[in-house]
Amino acid sequence: MNRDKDREAMHRMLDGDASPEEQKVLNERIEADPALKEEFIKLAGAVRMMKESKRPVPPPFFTAEVMGKLPRRGPSLVQRFRDLFSDSRVLRWNMSTAAATAGMVVIAIIVVVLLQREPQREPTITVKMSYSSPKAQSVAVAGNFNKWSADTHRMRKQSNGIWTIAIPLRAGTYTYQFVVDGRTWIVDPRAGIMQDDGFGSRNGVVRVNI
Amino acid sequence: MTGMSMRKVTVASLLLLVGASIAAATVDRSRTVETAKISQKGKADLYARAYAATSVGIPREDVDIIIARGMKRGGDAAEIGRFLDLCVNVKKQDLPVGPVLDRIVQGLSKRTPMTQINTASQRLAEKETMALPVVDAFLKQGMQGGKNNEREKAIEAVARTFEQSVSRDSIAEIGSAVQKRQGSLSFFTDAVNSVTYLAAKGIPGEKASKMIANAVSTGASEKDLDALVRQTKQPENDQNRWPDVDAAYDGHL
Amino acid sequence: MNNNATAEEFSIIRECVNGRVEKYALLVEKYKVMAFTVAYRMLGDTDTANDMAQESFVSAYVGLRDFKYNAKFSSWLYSIVLNKCRDHLRDRKEAVPVDDLAEYLPAKGPDPEQAASSQQTRDAVQKALDLLPEPYREVIILKHLEELGYEEIAEILGEKVIALKVRAHRGREMLKEHLENMGVVQ
């Protein structure tokens, strides 16, 4: 028996190229030869492992990221300037008289420059919050400063059962609630200012002025 | 068993081995299709909408959060897609999209029913549509301001009072009072926000509006308005309007 | 793939070429698992696979204008993914001449730092694949993971079927060797 020929036949079978006749002959040979049989089982086993191997899952925002990377056809530069001219906000910034074309272009350029300037690093004020609940297992703050996530701003429990947190915030108006034990959303009982949240509850309001 | 049938059994099992490996591969394939409630096409539509949203300038972060939280909540593609579509419409109408995004993201986090989130965010968008001409009218009449996002903040503030059933006339009254003092747009916004802060304490919208208009015309500053809000007590008969505060103490929720 | 599915794909491609960019998401959704799987099995690292797969879709999109409607989009995408993987791997090692090898030289997988940082427990199959020279790895992946026919593989890789079959035979033998050495195949 020619081992190489047998091997060739096995591979042909794994390729799906073997005729029924060939398969029959090969199976007979495999049956008759334990060493060959073992080789075939291992070979077929290796292929089977490949077929059954886990297909890794792409990360959740794969498609969105691809779409974000596609080159886009945006408005032409001419169109952009035209948009600036017709923008009422530009006209409001425009000082007094209807300027000559050159003047308008200058203003348009200033507007473009101002709009593209990087925001300066802004100072913050640390806002302290507290909530009394000896029984709670966890308390977090969720608000418009952290996209209402109940995970990112967890409060710390003091020995007297009062939960506290200190959050640095830039100038602005912030709305928030506490989340107790990861599921109960409540308004801060100590909030001096509150606002309807649109869902029948209220959010606490903190205004930071710097 | 005879030798022949032994052979047949072995041949059969060998063929089964090869056949089984093919069958197993097929089963494995189908297991990799995600078992989320959303079909492949649904997801594709959703991402197409996400792309449309970012194309009009809606922040990627918000789009991602809406989709992620929406899916986590078991929302279907249509429900989640509706949120994105609403935001695109708001943006295209040159209305402040931030407050609408905030409401959707907030509702999803608070596990509010999807239909309620939809209603509440649509309502806010509608009120913004009503608020825009009011704010622009004041600006046109010479009220100082409109830089940065003062205009958006003003539109949002007015929209929120409309949610409390405050009438356009009442807001106009506040605006006039501000104008008479040559107050700025940001002061106007502050005053209008005070109305919703009072409303959150249970004061009916129209009454709150009159209180603020009064305060402004008698010379109240931002600080005075703040003190006014803080010192106003919740009306006795309105205790049950805000069950969340009571429930927090009772631990009912 | 049946004729209806192909026709639908061609229509999506035409729309993309005509400026309906958002339609491309449908193709990405359809083939993202395929692209990611192939890239991962070629490279052995999920982060790099993610980058390569995403870049492949972007390249495919950019080249859509030149898409010939006589081929399958999937075939074209496969070749883009594999090209990107090849380019990436070329940076990591020198090319090994293939068909005249009497004995094979094991290819290098991701370097230890990459392997450590990828945080992916690489299964036995991946470890074995990493040891195959790339040309063999490609054929094994396309034949036994993606389960394509040799005609299609020939189109994707730009090689003759007969050469591919030789590589498949040898690749399978190597795979069996490695898995046996790991004590994984009984």
Give the CATH number, domain containing residue C44: 1.10.1740.10
Is there a single domain that holds both residue B216 and residue B141?
Answer: yes
Average pLDDT estimate for B223-238 = 82
Is there a single domain that holds both residue B77 and residue B134?
Answer: no
What does the alpha-carbon distance between residue C41 and residue C154 come to, in Å, rounded to a whole number?
A: 19
Q: What is the pLDDT of residue A51?
A: 87
Cβ within 8 Å, pair C28-B25: no
Q: Kind of pairing, strands A156-157 and A139-143? A: unpaired
Phi, psi of B135 (to 5 degrees): -65, -45
In a domain, B102, yes or no: yes
In a domain, B208, yes or no: yes
In a domain, B196, yes or no: yes
Choosing from B83, B112, B141, the residue where a domain stops is B112
In a domain, B219, yes or no: yes
pLDDT band per the 50, 70, 90 thresholds, residue C186: low
| pLDDT tens digit sequence for B125-177 | 999 999 999 999 999 999 998 887 999 999 999 999 999 999 999 999 999 99
What does the alpha-carbon distance between residue A78 and residue B209 come to, in Å, rounded to a whole number?
A: 46
**Does C17 reach chain A within 8 Å, measured CB to CB?**
no
Number of Cβ atoms within 10 Å of the Cβ of B231: 8
Question: A with C: how many residue pairs have Cβ under 8 Å apart?
Answer: 99
Contacts of B114 (CB under 8 A, 6+ apart): B70, B73, B75, B79
Q: Is the pLDDT score of B30 beyond 50?
A: no
Give me the residues of A, 48-77, that contact B with CB < 8 A. 48, 51-52, 55, 57, 60-61, 63-64, 67-68, 72
Number of Cβ atoms within 10 Å of the Cβ of A155: 22
Give me the residues of C, 88-127, that contact A with CB < 8 A. 120, 123-126
Q: Domains in chain A and their CATH numbers?
A: 3-52 (no CATH), 72-116 (no CATH), 124-208 (2.60.40.10)
Give me the residues of A, 88-107, that contact C with CB < 8 A. none
- Supply the mean pLDDT for chain B: 82
What does the alpha-carbon distance between residue C3 and residue C9 come to, in Å, rounded to a whole number?
A: 10
Cβ within 8 Å, pair B47-C29: yes
| pLDDT tens digit sequence for C78-108 | 999 999 999 888 876 544 444 433 333 334 4
**Does A187 reach chain B within 8 Å, measured CB to CB?**
yes
Cβ within 8 Å, pair A50-C49: no
In a domain, B9, yes or no: no
What does the alpha-carbon distance between residue B168 and residue B130 come to, in Å, rounded to a whole number?
A: 9
Q: What is the pLDDT of residue A179?
A: 96
Q: Is the pLDDT score of B29 beyond 50?
A: no
Q: What is the pLDDT of residue B114?
A: 93
Is there a single domain that holds both residue B225 and residue B140?
Answer: yes
Choosing from B55, B83, B112, the residue where a domain stops is B112
Average pLDDT estimate for A187-209 = 92
- Directed axis angle between helix B77-92 and helix B60-72, to 10°? 160
Is there a single domain that holds both residue B148 and residue B198?
Answer: yes
Residues counted in chain C:
186
C-alpha closest to that of B228 among B205, B208, B242: B208
Give me the residues of A, 24-53, that contact B with CB < 8 A. 27-28, 30-31, 40-41, 44, 47-48, 51-52
Q: Return the residue in A14, A163, A196, A208 with the most chain B beta carbons within 10 A, the one to mutate for interface testing.
A: A196
Total domains in chain B come to 2
Is there a single domain that holds both residue B148 and residue B89?
Answer: no
Total domains in chain C come to 1
In a domain, B13, yes or no: no
Expressed as residue numbers, the domain containing B91 is 37-112
In a domain, B177, yes or no: yes
Is there a single domain that holds both residue B183 and residue B108?
Answer: no
In a domain, C51, yes or no: yes
Q: What's the burial of C162, exposed, middle or buried (CB within 10 Å: 0-12/13-18/19+)?
A: exposed
Q: What's the burial of A162, exposed, middle or buried (CB within 10 Å: 0-12/13-18/19+)?
A: middle
Of C40, C50, C144, the CB nearest to A47: C144
Distance from CA of C22 to the nearest CA of B (A): 5
Contacts of A187 (CB under 8 A, 6+ apart): A177, A178, A194, A201, A202, A203, A204, B242, B244, B245, B248
**Does A111 reach chain B within 8 Å, measured CB to CB?**
no
**Does A8 reach chain C within 8 Å, measured CB to CB?**
yes
Give me the residues of C, 25-44, that contact B with CB < 8 A. 25-26, 28-30, 33
In a domain, C127, yes or no: yes
Expressed as residue numbers, the domain containing C61 is 3-181
C176: tokens are: 């069996």
What does the alpha-carbon distance between residue C77 and residue C59 come to, in Å, rounded to a whole number?
A: 9
Is there a single domain that holds both residue B152 and residue B211?
Answer: yes
> Rounded to a whole number, what is the distance in angstroms from the first to the last CA of chain A?
91
Average pLDDT estimate for B47-73 = 89
Average pLDDT estimate for A182-196 = 91
pLDDT band per the 50, 70, 90 thresholds, residue B207: very high
Q: Give, in order, the Cα–Cα distances in Å from A85 to each of A54, A109, B136, B149.
A: 57, 11, 19, 20
Q: Is the pLDDT score of A107 beyond 70?
A: no
Q: Give, in order, the Cα–Cα distances in Å from A196 to each of B25, B129, B164, B242, C26.
A: 55, 19, 9, 10, 40
In a domain, C186, yes or no: no
Of C19, C35, C123, the CB nearest to A53: C123
What does the alpha-carbon distance between residue B159 and residue B229 come to, in Å, rounded to a whole number?
A: 19
What does the alpha-carbon distance between residue C81 and residue C49 come to, in Å, rounded to a whole number?
A: 10
Is there a single domain that holds both residue B65 and residue B135?
Answer: no
Cβ within 8 Å, pair A46-C172: yes
Write out chain A residues lying below 8 Å of C172, CB-based. 11, 14, 43, 46-47
Is there a single domain that holds both residue B56 and residue B146?
Answer: no
In a domain, B85, yes or no: yes
Side chain identity at residue B126, one-letter code = E
- Supply the mean pLDDT for chain A: 80
Q: What's the burial of A137, exposed, middle or buried (CB within 10 Å: 0-12/13-18/19+)?
A: exposed
Collapsed DSSP state (helix, strand, coil) of residue A89: helix
Q: Strands across the sheet with A124-132, in order?
A: A124-132, A162-170, A156-157
Least confident of A68-77, B1-10, B14-23, B67-76: B14-23
